[in-house]
A = this chain, B = another copy of it.
Amino acid sequence: MTTQQLIEQIQLKKSFLCIGLDVDLAKIPTHLLKEEDPIFAFNKAIIEATHHLCVAYKPNTAFYEAYGLKGWKSLEKTIQYINKNYPEIFTIADAKRGDIGNTSSMYAKAFFEDLAFDSVTVAPYMGKDSVEPFLAFKDKHTIMLALTSNEGAFDFQTLSVNNKELYKEVLEASKSWENSENLMYVVGATKAEYFKEIRQIVPHSFLLVPGVGAQGGNLQDVCKYGMTSTVGLLINSSRGILYAANDSTFAEAAKQKAEDLQKEMELILTAKK
């Protein structure tokens, strides 16, 4: 999917919501545990209930790897289900990978070719040659960690290097990498006040924004400082939507939570015009 197609979907659906498919078997309704593949059954119900309200789905690979072979199969079925039934939806493998060149190439192959995701998240610590193998897939998108939503973001990301915070150096440096036009960035919603300065470095890039909901980030603040003329934001919510209820009404409850966010986004988009 091209960036232009993503923007068109945002305009069409009046939504820039991304739903994080982070399925924890300990949290889903117990009646689903009888299914042959409870994780996929859960995802399918969530997707059916919410696909018209969001523009992206983001499974975090940790939640699938934790269940071994079965989990990887659930991930495969989930991405195949989305790609087949809702090809207009942008898919993100939230994997936070990054390794030396020949190894990053294998990860890129795993997520872009084997699983056919539109994008994958990567970590910047190993530098340019650990990210460029992802960027080499020109019809795909690479979403690099910049400023994350957790407390630990302050351990290293905000330390001062070259008279600016490390995450700004990461943003700045990445702009010169080959095929950098395929880059998007992760910026946590819990740090809304940072978006203004981030937009000075990457004025047009899409930002994937976790941390609204369970982690306490505020949608209005993020949009105030982070939104561009073509929106440029994908706001992720995972737990707040997935676990809105844990009985037979879970999909309906998830839909309601997604709709609440979509409505709030629609208001913001309308006000912006």
CB distance from A194 to the nearest CB of B (A): 16
Q: Restricting to A89-147, which residues have a CB under 8 Å from any CB of B?
A: 96-101, 103-104, 106-107, 109-111, 114-115, 123-131, 145
Stretch at the interface among A43-51, A60-68, A195-203, A223-231: A60-68
Q: How many copies does the complex hold?
A: 2
**A2 cross-chain contacts in B, Cβ below 8 A:** none
A69 in contact with B66 (CB, 8 Å): no
- What's the interface size class on A, roughly? 35 or more
Whole-angstrom distance from the CB of A136 to the nearest CB of chain B? 15
**Contact: A125 with B125, CB < 8 Å?**
yes
CA distance A81 to B193 in the complex (A): 51
On whether the beta carbons of B69 and A127 are closer than 8 Å, the reply is no
Q: Mark A152-174, 1 if CB is under 8 A from B, else 0.
A: 11111101111000100110010
> Which residues does chain B contribute within 8 Å of A99, judged by CB atoms?
60, 62, 96
Contact across chains for B66 and A76 when beta carbons are under 8 A apart: no
Closest residue of chain B to A215 (Cβ to Cβ) is: B100
A258 vs B114: C-alpha distance when bound (angstroms): 33
Q: Which residues of B contact A22 (CB under 8 A)?
A: 103
Q: Which residue of B lies closest to A186 (CB)?
A: B126
The reply to whether B123 and A150 form a contact with Cβ atoms under 8 Å apart is no
Query: In the complex, are the beta carbons of A62 and B124 less than 8 A apart?
Result: no
Residue of B nearest to A150 (CB): B100
Known: A69-B72, A106-B62, A107-B66. A152 touches B123 (CB 8 A): no
- Among B103, B115, B210, the residue within 8 A (CB) of A60 is B103
Min C-beta distance of A113 to chain B, whole Å: 8
Task: Given contact pairs A96-B126, A128-B151, enumerate 14 new A-B contacts (beta carbons under 8 Å).
Answer: A24-B106, A62-B99, A62-B103, A62-B104, A65-B106, A68-B115, A69-B73, A96-B99, A123-B123, A123-B125, A127-B150, A127-B155, A130-B152, A156-B173
Seen from chain A, the residues whose Cβ lies within 8 Å of a Cβ on chain B are 22, 24, 60, 62-63, 65-69, 71-73, 76, 96-101, 103-104, 106-107, 109-111, 114-115, 123-131, 145, 148-157, 159-162, 166, 169-170, 173, 210, 215
